[in-house]
Amino acid sequence: MADIESTGETKDFCLDHPARSEPFFLKGSNSLDWGMQNRLSRIFSPASGKTVMLAIDHGYFQGPTTGLERVDVKIVPLLPHADALMLTRGILRTCIPSSFGRGIVLRASGGPSILKELSNEEIAVDMEDALRLNVAAVAVQVFIGGEFETRTVHNMTRLVDLGNRYGIAVLGVTAVGKEMVRDAKYLRLACRICAELGAHVVKTYYVAEGFETVTASCPVPVVMAGGKKLPELEALKMARRAVAEGAAGVDMGRNIFQSEAPAAMIQAVRKVVHENATPEAAYQYYLSLKGK
Ligand code: R5P
């Protein structure tokens, strides 16, 4: 039986401690619901506000990409170093241990292979399956200026409606059509459209001129895509510049899994993203890990 008399005398209401009301650590994300913020905290480190997301979803349109031929052998050993993992549900279910505790960002658009017009995408995942997989976010390609621009924007807005309903974030990926010039003017346009239409996070490429205007004019976190394989020091310089110019981290694929030493490279990327290390210091760290 409950001891009502004695517990009544020992309660502590901490009357000298006002209730805390702290802003959420990601820009543009204060008004999101608890579940969405919790999921975003599985992608971005609350300590640094940034992410080192490992992108391995390339097979959804180009098959067994170099470095991803055997995800179970080559990628699973990298998982302890990734804040989040971006991939398809096929690879998630077949190759990734369900004990992985960080954020899953699920590729949710697709359709054409590399042999066809890439912007001709549809939504490729039901939100119910995304929930079943306990993902933190879904990712959708948005081809601003591409042949099927409107369809890809509509794919994103439908996922945003469903994501808002269930508390799953949407990562809008600004994909550059064949004819488009990849410069700050284009990326400002593409990123802003994604954010205006509801994306909770935007992923885009780095450009040497004016990247800070891309991040400044996008009201939600921007993460930098890696792009084609570069020499390791160059990739570290690009990641450092992107973060210094306002990116909330990176979502890198080929520059990690096509590195001569992927485990060393992802740890070096962590140095520049989370610890503000110089690219040169991070490169030395890469070399020291590679040599072991
Ligand atoms: C490509 O379509 C995928 O969305 C990749 O996740 C993205 O391009 C990032 O990978 P990478 O760093 O290799 O460019």
pLDDT in tens, 182-212: 899 999 999 999 999 999 999 999 999 999 9
Band (pLDDT 50/70/90 cuts) for residue 128 is very high
Q: Is 116 a catalytic residue?
A: no
Q: Which residues contact 60 (CB under 8 A, 6 or more apart)?
A: 88, 107, 110, 124
- Tokens 């450092």: give the residue: 240
Nearest CA to ligand 1 atom 1: 58
- Mean pLDDT of all residues in 64-88: 97
- Where do the domains of the chain lie, and which CATH numbers do they carry? 30-260 (3.20.20.70)
* Annotated catalytic residue, options 50, 116, 185, 203: 203
- Mean pLDDT of all residues in 51-73: 96
Band (pLDDT 50/70/90 cuts) for residue 2 is low
Q: Which token pair is 176?
A: 């550059």
Band (pLDDT 50/70/90 cuts) for residue 3 is low
pLDDT of residue 4: 56
Q: Relative to the CA of 141, which ligand 1 atom is closest? A: 4
Band (pLDDT 50/70/90 cuts) for residue 252 is very high
Q: Where are the alpha helices (DSSP H) in the chain?
A: 4-10, 34-43, 59-62, 71-74, 89-95, 127-132, 149-166, 184-196, 211-216, 232-244, 254-257, 262-274, 279-290
Q: Relative to the CA of 173, which ligand 1 atom is closest? A: 4
Q: What angle do CA 154, 130, 62 make, to 5 degrees?
A: 70
Flag whether pLDDT at 1 surpasses 70: no
Q: Which token pair is 46?
A: 């609350």
